Structure 1
Amino acid sequence: MKINWGTGVVIAFICFISFIMYFIITMSVNDKYDYDLVTEDYYGQELEFQEDLNKEEHSKTLTTNLSWTKSNEGIIINFPEDIDYKNITGTVFLYRPSNKQFDFEIPISLSKHNLLIPDKRLLDGRWNIKVDWKSSDNSYIYRTEIIY
Structure 2
Amino acid sequence: MKINWGTGIVIAFGLFMTFILYFVFEVQSNSKYDNDLVVEEYYKHDTHFQEEMARIQNAHDLQHKPSIKYIENGVKIVFPSNFQEDKVTGNVLLYRPSNKKFDFNTQIVLQNSSLFIPHNKLVKGRWDVNMEWQYNGIKYLSKEVIYVN
TM-score, normalised via structure 1 length: 0.85
Instruction: Give the unaligned 5+ runs of structure 2.
Output: none
Equivalent position SS for 1:60: helix
- Provide the C-alpha distance between the structure 2 equivalents of 1:9 and 1:68, rounded to a whole number of angstroms: 59
Equivalent position SS for 2:54: helix
- Provide the C-alpha distance between the structure 2 equivalents of 1:20 and 1:60, rounded to a whole number of angstroms: 47
- Provide the C-alpha distance between the structure 2 equivalents of 1:137 and 1:64, rounded to a whole number of angstroms: 17
Shift of 1:110: 1.9
- Correspondence for 1:112: 112
CA shift digits 1:58-106 (9 cap, x unpaired):
1233221011233343111001211101111101011111111111111
- Note closer, same or farther for the CA distance 1:100–1:3 as it changes in structure 2 (3 Å cut): same
Tell me if the contact between 1:86 and 1:111 (Cα under 8 Å) persists in the aligned partners.
Answer: no
- Correspondence for 1:91: 91
TM-score, normalised via structure 2 length: 0.85
- Provide the C-alpha distance between the structure 1 equivalents of 2:75 and 2:5, rounded to a whole number of angstroms: 69
- Provide the C-alpha distance between the structure 2 equivalents of 1:2 and 1:86, rounded to a whole number of angstroms: 86
Question: What is the total number of aligned residue pairs between the two structures?
Answer: 148
Equivalent position SS for 1:123: coil
Tell me if the contact between 1:74 and 1:117 (Cα under 8 Å) persists in the aligned partners.
Answer: yes
Instruction: Give the unaligned 5+ runs of structure 1.
Output: none
Task: Report sequence identity in percent.
Answer: 41
What is the Cα-based RMSD across aligned positions, in Å? 2.2
- Give matches, 1:63-78, under 5 Å: 63-78=63-78
- Correspondence for 1:146: 146
